[in-house]
Chain A
Amino acid sequence: MMPEAPIKRGLLYLLKLLRLQKQNMQKQNIQNENMQKQNIQNQIKQLSITIGTLVLVTLMSFVFREVGIHETNIIVAYILGVLIVSTQTIGYFHGILASVIGVLTFNFFFTEPYYTFVAYRTDYPVTFLIMFIAAMMTSTLAEKVKSEKKRVEIREQRTLHLYRISQELIRARNVQQIVDVCSKELGVALQRGIIIQTQGDNGKLCGATLFNFKPTNQIEQFKLFYEQKGLELAYQCGTPTGFGTSIDNDLKSYYHPIKGQIGVLGVVGVDCFEGIILNPEQIQFLEAVCMQMAIALDRERLWGKQQKTKMEIEKERLRGNLLRGISHDLRTPLAGILGSTGTLIENDNTLTGAMRHELLFNIYEEVTWLIHTIENILSMTRIDEGKMEIHRSMEAAEELVAEAVYRIRKIASKHIVKTVIPENLVMVSVDSGLIEQVLINLLDNAMKYTEEGTMIEVSFKTEENKVVFEVKDYGKGMLEEEIPYVFERFYTSSKGGDSNRKGTGLGLAICKSIVNAHGGEIQVNNHSQGGACFTFYIPN
């Protein structure tokens, strides 16, 4: 079965090409007919201008003769007529025709003998010659001025266009916007279909933006295999390819590379499906737009690099802060442990049982605190690495709460913990270790800042499409002005609670990071019975 499939595909492809070609030819024929009709109409119009003007001048000259104005004025009037014809018609033909007819008419009507082509006066041939030359020159001059004016108009348009493009490019915020602006402007200016492909992150061309000037353009032809190849060739070689160039001349479009500071940044393809080559001015315009595009693309690339560098610097700064904070906060308990153990070793035989027990108990407490803090620090470094990798699994919310309460009891058991849960089982998709850490940190925080023996309430419930957890204490609550800062790193309450152990200020910050990484939010407020209430939700 293998060889059949590609053959079939190849045949289908050929058929498609043939059909496209037929459609094209039909269109060409219709267009040609239309053009011919228009041409004839134009010719008739211009001829009538010529004849009309000369007739008018002749009539005017008759009037001159009757009134008695000298015949030199008539000569000048004819020259004026020729000038008018030149300015109102296109090309040299009608101007020259007018010159000839003008002289002949002057001869016929206004030189003696009247109404003949013969002229008696010996100086008439000179007059005729000079008149003819004058007429010719005026017509050619008029023609030149016209075409010059036209060129200047076009150039002015192009300049305005370029100015407008550069304005829009300044406003563009990303590569796609740059490409969109340029493809539209080029398409409208050149009145053709446009394709633009730019360099992606991996150095290869990616993404294609097409602009369709008019729906009959068939810009799908840009996607044909050899057209793509032609485009890529322009990208790789940095020279234009395609229709009208010396490379791949048989392609239906013209491809122009966008050259930046370092290399080729992309390619612009212009449709030449109607078989009309781009003139040098259009190519100049295209080059100017490409230069603008290159500048904008380079700018985007550099801006992207700058952002990345900024982020790296920020990351390093955070890491530095974290390390400093950690070292400082770990030194204290370690100093305590070192001191206690040293004392035990040095004074082994002089210490009483009670003193020994107290020193040992101190060590035990410090270590417990260290374990808890290091968990938090480890989480923090995971967050700072940039991506917080959460490994989600479906867990029962009540089981998470149960384990968190169980674990906090091992390090602090002087409070009453009450749990309030819904009647039915609530499942939530979380990283169990991380969410437990959130609960433990919140419980630890509550215990730290409230009196021994007071109650701490943990609850959760489902709401719309999320699960809302709550940790409520019945202490003195938070100071209003502290509330906005509480989740910041290294922020510890100035109120202080348990004078024994001040936190590193990481606990709540980690809660926030973990909850945010799960797509949820955390907040705190004082509740009606005094005391603080921490609430966070995890979306389902």
Chain B
Amino acid sequence: MNNKPFILVVEDDRPIRHFMTVALEAQGYQCLETQTGNAAIALAMSHNPDIILLDLGLPDMDGKDVIHKIRPFTKAGIIVVSARGHEREKAEALDCGADDYLTKPFSVVELLARIRVAIRHLRPELKMNEVNQGNYQIGELFIDVNKYRVSIAGGEVHLTPIEFKIMALMAVHAGRVLTHHFILSQIWGEYTDSDRQSLRVFMGNIRRKIEIEPAQPRYILTEVGVGYRLVDE
């Protein structure tokens, strides 16, 4: 694979498309632009990008349909872009196969951060938080998946089995947002509405055990209406 990661930008608004391309190329990424969903599908198949930035408000197709069509054929990281207030749309896109999202209007800093996370998950050798197999370090948070141990700033944290499973799942996907649906189905399998409520309780407990200020978390961020994200640095 070429060293420079290759990004497909699917966005119908010219100024936005332009600034994204400029910012990404300035970071050393290779970019290809297109304005429609159909063209995006064709380009994704033919050029095999590493990352696809997909706007959900495309004129010709519903973003979810684009994801449906290309997800089976590509391992690219798909980052969807959507307006504020459309949380459910984002969550659905994520559950359809997208890997992360950006909310318009977003800053270049956010854009680059998302791209970085997506690239790390594509190329495991770039994952900085995985010290060695099953061991994750993020800031002062250490997670040992094999030994079922979590510690923060040296002090061990006592998690219940489910809490640990959640932490492990988030560590594997560090930096990426995980929807409620994703976490519930990975940990619970089939789940009910009361399980949804339980997830909140578990996350609350985890935060209290790990964070200095649970309502201003350093590690486990809440994306209200979408899911949770463990930062990866």
Contact = CB atoms under 8 A, between A and B. Distances in A.
Interface of A: 371, 375, 393-396, 398-403, 405-406, 410, 417-419, 421, 423-425, 427, 432-433, 436, 458
A423 B105 CA distance: 35
Contact of A398 (B105, B197, B204): B204
A154 to B, nearest CB: 71
B215 interface: yes
A403 to B, nearest CB: 5
Contacts of B205: 425
Interface range for B: 20 to 34
B224 A432 contact: yes
Nearest to A458: B215
B221 A406 contact: yes
B222 A402 contact: yes
B223 A403 contact: yes
B161 interface: no
A427 B215 contact: no
A425 B200 contact: yes
A410 B203 CA distance: 24
A436 B203 CA distance: 19
Contact of A395 (B107, B215, B216, B224): B224
7 contacts: A393-B225, A398-B207, A402-B221, A419-B213, A421-B215, A432-B87, A433-B85
B215 A375 contact: no
B105 A371 contact: yes
Nearest to A417: B216
Contacts of A394: 197, 200
B84 A375 contact: yes
Contacts of A424: 204
A395 to B, nearest CB: 6
Interface of B: 84-85, 87, 105, 107, 197, 200-201, 203-205, 207-208, 213-217, 221-225
B214 A421 contact: yes
A371 B106 CA distance: 11
Contacts of B225: 393, 432-433
Nearest to B208: A423
Given A375-B84, A394-B197, A402-B217, 14 more contacts: A371-B105, A396-B203, A398-B215, A399-B200, A399-B222, A399-B224, A400-B224, A402-B222, A419-B213, A419-B216, A421-B214, A425-B201, A425-B204, A425-B205
Contacts of A401: 215
Nearest to B85: A433
The 3 closest A-B pairs by CB, nearest first: A419-B215, A425-B204, A399-B222
Contacts of B204: 396, 398, 424-425
Highest count of chain A CB atoms <10 Å: which of B197, B223, B224 = B224
Contacts of B105: 371
Highest count of chain A CB atoms <10 Å: which of B87, B213, B221 = B213
A405 B222 CA distance: 11
A367 to B, nearest CB: 8
B15 to A, nearest CB: 12
A421 B204 CA distance: 11
Given A425-B200, A427-B197, A432-B224, A398 B85 contact: no
A405 B224 contact: no
B224 A403 contact: yes
A425 B201 CA distance: 6
A398 B228 CA distance: 13
Nearest to A405: B216
A60 B203 CA distance: 115
B200 A396 contact: yes
Nearest to A421: B215
Contacts of A375: 84
Contacts of B214: 398, 402, 419, 421
Contacts of A400: 224
Contact of A402 (B107, B197, B215): B215
A427 B200 contact: yes
A403 B222 contact: yes
Contacts of A458: 215
A436 B201 contact: no
Nearest to B199: A396
A406 B110 CA distance: 13
A375 B85 CA distance: 10
A436 B213 contact: no
Contact of B224 (A371, A417, A423, A436): A436
A424 B213 CA distance: 14
A419 B216 CA distance: 7
Nearest to A374: B105
A393 B200 CA distance: 13
Contacts of B222: 396, 399, 402-403
